[in-house]
């Protein structure tokens, strides 16, 4: 069974000759994990490319942890699918089973853009993929339990992505604490949280995460904990907002952050 593309031609170009201009995977480095945005590639491609260009050459597989945008999910549980292949604009890629215990939810996986935005990069780089949804974590104990379970099954050939846009600001998102002209305040908040994630300070992030509109904060916290336990070094690599890409009103925008980890 194949996971088919749902957002091709909508959230990113459908033709590979157009995609080639924004999907950049050629380079060298030692990145092993990242918190990356999942907005349409017209917004997020530069930050996603920064990871795939400099991924460690030993990586043959990518594991994506994404929130669920279209289906409600219970806390503290992974939701996976039984697809054997995933369609990408560059051809189908092998899709291996999620390595931890998870509930089966094919429809949620099939419609999730938090997974699909990375598939053009995975297809172009000819990697295998696995994925799961995780929308919320109710306690630090559960976060650490789930993180330890994932650490125990990950091998050195697997890179891990936590799929997450950062603050969604504006009245249409129900988050407007700074009034109008809030760019500087939101950027400050997101740089602080991104730095905490890079440094593995998941306890501090957990204490404030429910007051944010960061849509993939649960996968991001989980990955931060995992990288801390593995002793990998993290960096808040880049940041910008949708306003920087397409300037509109400053009181309605989404923020994007790259947190990258390197290590062996």
Tell me what pLDDT residue 181 has.
83
Tell me what pLDDT residue 251 has.
79
The domain in which residue 138 lies consists of 2-262
Strand partners, 261: 33, 234
Count of domains in the chain?
Answer: 1
Tell me what pLDDT residue 250 has.
74
Tell me what pLDDT residue 233 has.
86
Distance CA 100, CA 141 (A): 17
Nearest alpha carbon to residue 135 among 186, 187, 65, 61: 65
For the chain, residues with pLDDT lower than 50 are none
CA angle 223, 62, 8 (to 5 degrees): 110
Burial 230-243 (b: 16+ CB within 10 A, else e): bebebbbbebbbbb
93-114 pLDDT per residue, tens: 999 999 999 999 999 999 999 9
Distance CA 142, CA 209 (A): 15
- Judge contact between 151 and 228, C-beta under 8 A: no
Tell me what pLDDT residue 264 has.
58
Question: Which CATH number covers residue 129?
Answer: 3.40.830.10
């Amino acid at each position: 069974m194949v996971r088919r593309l749902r957002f091709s031609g909508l959230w990113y170009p459908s033709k590979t000759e157009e995609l080639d201009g924004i999907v950049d995977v050629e380079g060298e480095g030692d990145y092993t994990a990242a918190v990356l945005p999942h907005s349409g590639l017209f917004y997020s491609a530069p930050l996603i490319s920064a990871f795939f260009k400099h991924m460690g050459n030993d990586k043959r597989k990518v594991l994506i942890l994404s929130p669920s945008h279209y289906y409600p999910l219970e806390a503290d549980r992974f939701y996976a699918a039984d697809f054997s292949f995933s369609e990408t604009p560059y051809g189908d890629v092998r899709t291996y089973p999620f390595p931890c215990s998870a509930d089966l939810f094919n429809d949620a996986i099939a419609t999730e853009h938090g997974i699909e935005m990375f598939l053009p990069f995975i297809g172009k780089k000819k990697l295998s993929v696995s994925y799961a949804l995780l929308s919320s974590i109710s306690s630090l104990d559960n976060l650490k339990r789930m993180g330890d379970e994932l650490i125990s099954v990950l091998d050195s050939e697997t890179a891990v992505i936590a799929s997450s846009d950062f603050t969604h600001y504006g009245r249409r998102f129900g988050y407007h604490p700074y009034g109008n002209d809030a760019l500087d305040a939101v950027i400050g908040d997101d740089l602080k949280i991104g730095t905490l994630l890079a440094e593995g300070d998941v306890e501090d992030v957990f204490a404030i995460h429910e007051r944010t509109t960061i849509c993939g904060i649960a996968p991001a916290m989980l990955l931060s904990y995992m990288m801390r336990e593995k002793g990998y070094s993290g960096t808040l690599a880049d940041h910008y907002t949708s306003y920087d890409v397409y300037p509109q009103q400053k009181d309605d925008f989404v923020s994007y952050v790259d947190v990258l980890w390197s290590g062996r």
